[in-house]
A and B are shown apart, each in its own frame.
Chain A
Amino acid sequence: MIASVLFDAWLRTLTLQDHNTRVVVIATTLLGFAAGAIGSFTLLRRRALMGDALSHAMLPGIGLAFLVAPALGLQAKSLPVLLGGAVASGLVGTFAILLIRHQTRLKEDAALGIVLSVFFGAGLAILGLVQQTPGGHAAGLESFIYGKTASVTTYDALWIAGTAAATILIVVLFAKELTLLCFDDSYARARGFSVVLLDILLMSSVVMVTVVGLQAVGLILMIALLVTPAAASRFWVNRIIPMLWLSAIIGAVSCLGGSLLSAGVAELPSGATIVLTAAALFFVSLLLGTERGILVRWIHRRSMRLKTDRQHVLRGLYEIVESYRFKNLATDSSRPGQSSKNQVSRSFDGEESAFANHESLVSIVDLFSMRTWSKLRLKRELKRCQADGLIKMQQETVCLTAAGREAANRATREHRLWELYLITHADVAPSRVDHGAERIEHVLEPEMIAELEQLLPASSTRSQVPDCPHSETDSIAGDALPQGLQSRGVR
């Protein structure tokens, strides 16, 4: 029974059947749009907290206007009077911040903190006085603090809509100048733009949006509507104009969702629901944003890590098989009539037979001892290599396939080219070069490799793998295989 009543209320709200709800929701949405747009500029101008101080500084003005208005023959509760008071004290607060900053050696954050709390405290004190006046209790001035869309009348909504439209117009007309102001203000000044006037334009837009936003969002939470959408949209785009409009849309959606929530679930302050909706959108952007979102960065890092692991495995296999071959060579050349070392290419390119015999089977234990890596990570990467058809695994041994040999050639070649470059052109000691090369080789792009090839004429043939520039391969002709492996295994 209760559920169905609640459901009906929800439906009425969501479908905007109620005239007043409709007007209020539309006005608030426009407000969110305007706040999101102008908020992008304040965020980029690093003035975000200025908006917070400004909105807090508005409270004493509201209270004073309520107290003083009757004496001037004005309706105390009329919105223009209250908001006029809000603007006046907001401006006094801003002026106080500027004064403190310029006349003392305090930094801006200190000035902001002082002004914000003092004005808010004064505002609360004045509201306390208002409560004691006749009719003051019912004035509902607290709704300016926490925001209450339910208290917005159709007449108020028109004010909100008009101000939002004016702000959007300012953003459209001055987008280029405000961008310049935020990016490079000294250049703007050198080119003859008045930075002071542009700053005033920006801050007055913030004042306008804030003052009409007081009723819907409340002065404590107004800052969220200026900052959150802009910060959220930065995760998606890399260019200010799209960022501006995306931020406006995020602001609008926050306000729409928030005011619907507040209207549907009675007793929830609209300021809170709007801010929470905006925060949810921010969180989604933080995670999924296509430009700077956490997920995109994580995927990028992961693919980099996988690529690195793959290259380490392939190079490890190459080096082990290579050392087997040297050992073999040593025994071969001891026999008369056999081919000398020089005649055998040290790369496996075109020497399929080298892989065909039993020596190209590499035990995983050997591979594991090549470097300090976790067994689990190595096994995972081996499985991935197998899935990609680069190796064949049999129990505890692995064997490179044709595609795997090619990939192993390439990985080793890139590593050694880079090592040679570091030794010949960057004067890195051969004994230390391996480590330095490892950090960079994984990000080598094809153009850089081509450039390396030109710099190092010794390795001019396209697929030839140069000798390891820092190992004992020259002395390995003896029976140095185990030592050779050891010395590389414990780096």
Chain B
Amino acid sequence: MTDIPLSISDLTVAYHRKPVIWDIAVNIPPGTLVGVVGPNGAGKSTLLKACLDLIPVTSGRVEFFGKAYQEVRHRVAYVPQRESVDWDFPILAIDVVAMGLYRQIGWFLPVRKRHLQTAQAALDRVGIGDLANRQISQLSGGQQQRVFLARALVQQADLYLMDEPFAAVDAATETAIVEILKQMKTDGKTAVVIHHDLQTVRDYFDYVILLNMRVVAAGAVDEVFTNENLQKTYGGRLTLLDQATEAMRRREIKT
């Protein structure tokens, strides 16, 4: 079973003792495009970050290709949310993409010509090769998103974790990302994508995780992406659970 790209069991994460996701258990089959869907505050980003050790995990276990993340980092690529960085930073698009190669380049060594060539090829692949030498604030939101995607692509990983790549992007960017996702699937790679637009879930993904603090349902889109499950995910937020965690948080402030 070591070829399972991502296996999560009993994962619970809490911010300041307020649980954000509870008892997540899911196995991602290889070679699938997985959409993670759920309302705001459902813990979608938290789930990805917890898998990548970016935030402390309260309990549970995450395995990539049957191993701990530290051992297989090179096989996993992460595309953070676009808003997570300052786009006014003095750096060119191609330099951002080259960041995906820093591990490969190694300590103390500068980025060299062939690395820039790899970065350029990745930018070409996402369709903005002509913007390589633009400062990143000169790019549109969609183009910035594609820069992030290119940075993940240069890594040549087998599993891609993407945090809302389709959020507030133009139609051209959306098409470009979808094309790349399809290509990944053809190459036998796996992508786990946080997604907001319920309309397109059926078109873009073949596996879906419905998340609202816990996994409401996970499985093939045809079986799981039903009105009933969507109702469970979006309708009637888990009010009692919410109140309980909110109470815990407030008590924490007082003490």
Chain A residues proximal to chain B, CB less than 8 Å: 44, 105, 173-177, 179-180, 182-184, 186-187, 189-193, 234, 237-240, 243
B80, B91, B111, B253 — most chain A CB neighbours (10 Å): B91
Residues in chain B near residue A193, CB distance under 8 A: 102
Near A by CB (< 8 A), chain B positions 100-135 give 102-103, 105, 107-111, 135
Is B84 interfacial (CB 8 A cutoff)? yes
Interfacial chain A residues near B89, Cβ < 8 Å = 44, 182-183, 240
A44, A177, A192, A238: the one within 8 Å of B135 (CB): A238
Q: Contact check, B90 vs A187: say whether CB atoms are below 8 A apart.
A: no
Total chain B interface residues with beta-carbon distance under 8 A: 29
Q: Knowing A176-B111, A186-B84 touch, does A192 contact B78 (C-beta < 8 A)?
A: no
Q: Can you pick out 6 interface pairs between chain A and chain B where the beta carbons lie within 8 Å of each other?
A: A105-B253, A173-B107, A183-B86, A187-B99, A190-B53, A238-B135
The answer to the question of B1 belonging to the interface, with a C-beta cut-off of 8 Å to chain A, is: no
Docked-complex contact A239 and B92, CB < 8 angstroms: yes
B135 touches A183 (CB 8 A): no
- Determine how close the nearest CB of chain A comes to the CB of B153; give it in whole angstroms: 14
A99 smallest CB distance to B (angstroms): 17
Residue B52 at the chain A interface, CB threshold 8 Å: yes
B108–A184 touching, CB < 8 Å: no
B151 contacts across to A, CB distance below 8 A: 187
CB of B90, distance to nearest CB on chain A (Å): 5
Is the beta-carbon distance between B99 and A183 smaller than 8 angstroms? yes
- A182 and B84 CA atoms in complex are apart in Å by 12
Contacts of B68-104 to chain A: CB distance below 8 A: 70, 73, 78, 80, 84-86, 89-92, 95-96, 99, 102-103
Q: Is the CB of A239 within 8 A of B90?
A: yes
Cβ contacts under 8 Å, B102 to chain A: 176-177, 180, 191, 193
Task: Tell me whether B91 and A240 are in contact (CB under 8 A).
Answer: yes
Question: Per a CB cutoff under 8 Å, which of A175, A192, A243 touches B70?
Answer: A192
Once bound together, how far apart are the Cα atoms of A187 and B92, in whole Å?
Answer: 17
Complex CA distance for A239 and B105, rounded to whole angstroms? 20
Asked if A238 and B92 sit within 8 Å, CB to CB, the answer is yes
- A161 to nearest B CB, angstroms? 23
Would B78 and A238 count as touching, CB distance under 8 A? Answer: no
Q: Does B171 contact A (CB under 8 A)?
A: no
Per-position 1/0 for B126-149, Cβ under 8 A of A: 000000000100000000000000
Query: Besides A44-B90, A187-B99, A240-B95, 18 other CB < 8 A contacts?
Result: A105-B253, A173-B108, A176-B105, A179-B95, A179-B99, A180-B99, A182-B89, A183-B89, A184-B80, A187-B80, A190-B52, A190-B54, A190-B78, A191-B103, A193-B102, A239-B91, A239-B135, A243-B90
Residues of A within 8 Å of B78, CB to CB, are: 187, 190-191
Q: Mark B37-68, 1 if CB is under 8 A from A, else 0.
A: 00000000000010011100000000000000
| Complex CA distance for A183 and B88, rounded to whole angstroms | 10
Residues of B in contact with A (beta carbons under 8 Å apart): 49, 52-54, 70, 73, 78, 80, 84-86, 89-92, 95-96, 99, 102-103, 105, 107-111, 135, 151, 253
Which DSSP category, helix, strand, loop or mixed, fits chain A's interface?
helix
Closest to A179 in B: B91
B249, chain A: closest CB distance, angstroms: 12
Closest to B134 in A: A238
Q: Which residues on the A side are within 8 Å of B52 (C-beta)?
A: 189-190
A240–B90 contact, CB under 8 A? yes
On whether the beta carbons of B91 and A189 are closer than 8 Å, the reply is: no
Does the CB pair A238–B90 fall under 8 Å? yes
Minimum CB–CB distance for B11 against chain A, Å: 17
For the complex, what is the distance from the CA of A237 to the CA of B111, rounded to whole Å?
A: 19
Q: In the assembly, what is the distance between CA of A192 and CA of B78, in Å?
A: 12
Q: Is the CB of B70 within 8 A of A183?
A: no
A286 to chain B, nearest CB (A): 16
B-chain residues with CB within 8 Å of residue A234 when the two chains form the complex: 90
Q: Which residues does chain A contribute within 8 Å of B108, judged by CB atoms?
A: 173-174
Instruction: Name the CB-closest residue of B to A238.
Output: B135
Q: Output the residue of B49, B95, B103 with the most chain A CB within 10 A.
A: B95
Asked if residues B73 and A239 are in contact (CB atoms below 8 Å), the reply is no
- How far is A182 from B89 in the complex, measured between Cα atoms in Å? 9
Enumerate chain B residues within 8 angstroms of A182, measured Cβ to Cβ. 89
Contact B96 A189 (CB under 8 A): no
